[in-house]
């Protein structure tokens, strides 16, 4: 009996136990109501998505774990993870999912929720500012190259005002501070 007393503290586990009090049970419904989130609950954690992902080896949270975390309600961990922003959007996980869970699309939904809370990586935010200020991501600098090839010097038909006007009124405007 004295031996049993020596085993103090929580039992050894392979993974960090989840703190149930921190779970947000609405998170799964939130994602399911977003574009292509409907099939979320069909995930049976086979981890085929993780096998398909070319960069999962360097992620703390693998794709199948991120889906499981959403189902469990680990909202803060998912929305603050670097993984959602490093997703290559190559859609290999989504292509192979036997349950038709639209994993890549769901990670886009997660990024939108993170962005709504103002959590956007600095360089992505810089791209948003480019769109608001310049109305395009790339600007022609070497117009002589275009002329050499018999092309119009400026980008043909590109309107920068339309996109600026639209995005000033949507979340991009809020994130980028309205633009100039």
Q: Which parts of this chain interact with other proteins (CB under 8 A)? A: 35, 54-55, 58, 82, 85-92, 94-95, 102, 104-105, 108-109, 111-112, 115, 120-121, 123-128, 131, 135-142, 145-146, 148-151, 155-160, 162-163, 166-167, 170-172, 175
CB of residue 15 to other proteins, shortest distance in Å: 25
Least distance between other proteins and beta carbon 80 (Å):
14
* Number of CB atoms found within 10 A of residue 103's CB: 30
Rg (CA), the chain: 22
Q: Which is nearer to other proteins, 23 or 36 (CB)?
A: 36
Give the number of other CB atoms < 10 A from CB of residue 99.
16
CB of 22 or CB of 112, closer to other proteins = 112
CB 74 within 8 A of CB 81: no
CA-based torsion, 42, 43, 46, 47: positive or negative: positive
């Amino acid at each position: 009996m004295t031996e049993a007393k020596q085993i103090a503290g929580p039992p050894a586990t392979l993974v960090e136990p989840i703190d149930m009090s921190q779970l947000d049970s609405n998170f799964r419904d939130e994602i399911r109501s977003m574009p292509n989130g409907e099939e979320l609950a069909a995930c049976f954690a086979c981890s085929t998505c993780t096998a398909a992902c070319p960069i999962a080896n360097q992620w703390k949270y693998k794709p199948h774990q991120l889906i499981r975390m959403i189902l469990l309600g680990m909202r803060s961990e998912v929305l603050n993870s670097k993984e959602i922003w490093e997703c290559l959007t190559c859609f290999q996980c989504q292509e192979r999912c036997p349950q038709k869970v639209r994993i890549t699309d769901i990670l886009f939904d997660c990024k939108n929720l993170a962005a709504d809370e103002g959590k956007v990586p600095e360089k992505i935010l810089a791209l948003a500012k480019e769109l608001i200020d310049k109305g395009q991501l790339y600007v022609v600098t070497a117009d002589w190259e275009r002329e050499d090839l018999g092309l119009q010097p400026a980008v043909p038909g590109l309107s920068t005002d339309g996109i600026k006007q639209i995005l000033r009124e949507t979340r991009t405007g809020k994130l980028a501070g309205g633009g100039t």
